[in-house]
């Protein structure tokens, strides 16, 4: 099975987008819209202190009547972040996504965020791997 490190090496966009505790929700939303992503990590220096997603804004922002321009991201972020390491297998990440009902996992390497994977990344990677296996088997069977 493929590792998180292999998935990250195959991703086109490897930059980890983040905000800091003093950013307002609107800043995070604008960054997410500009980069077409569903979540950003919240970093205090190099230290991961949370993750902010579209779901966080919907549930802790909009529904509770908070204004994006005046609400610090720390008030609506998820503070206890599940993370993975580069050596973890995608199978284990899929279990985390499913068991914890989450869609994004920051990758920690030596205590610092080195990447971010989403459930979509895993689905795409697995589909591509299956296509390669099918092509190999088709070529094997046809004698090509």
Compute the distance between CA of residue 28 and CA of residue 30 in angstroms, rounded to an integer. Answer: 5
CB 50 within 8 A of CB 78: yes
What ranges do the domains of the chain cover?
A: 4-142
One pLDDT digit (tens) per residue for the chain, 144 residues: 789 999 998 876 678 999 999 999 999 999 999 999 999 999 999 999 999 999 999 999 888 889 999 999 999 999 999 999 999 999 999 999 999 999 999 999 999 999 999 999 999 988 888 898 898 898 889 886
Please state the pTM of the whole predicted model.
0.86
Domain 4-142: which CATH class? alpha beta
């Amino acid at each position: 099975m493929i590792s998180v490190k292999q998935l990250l090496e195959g991703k086109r966009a490897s930059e980890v987008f983040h905000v800091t505790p003093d950013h307002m929700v609107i800043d995070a939303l604008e960054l997410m819209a500009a980069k077409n992503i569903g979540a950003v990590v919240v970093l205090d220096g190099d230290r991961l202190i949370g993750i902010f997603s579209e779901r966080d804004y919907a549930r802790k922002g909009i529904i509770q009547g908070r204004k994006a321009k005046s609400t610090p991201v720390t008030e609506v972020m998820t503070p206890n972040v599940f993370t993975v390491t580069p050596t973890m297998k995608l199978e284990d990440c899929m279990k985390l996504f499913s068991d914890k009902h989450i869609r994004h996992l920051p990758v920690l390497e030596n205590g610092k965020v080195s990447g971010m994977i989403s459930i979509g990344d895993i689905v795409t990677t697995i589909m591509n791997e299956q296509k390669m296996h099918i092509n190999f088997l088709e070529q094997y069977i046809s004698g090509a």
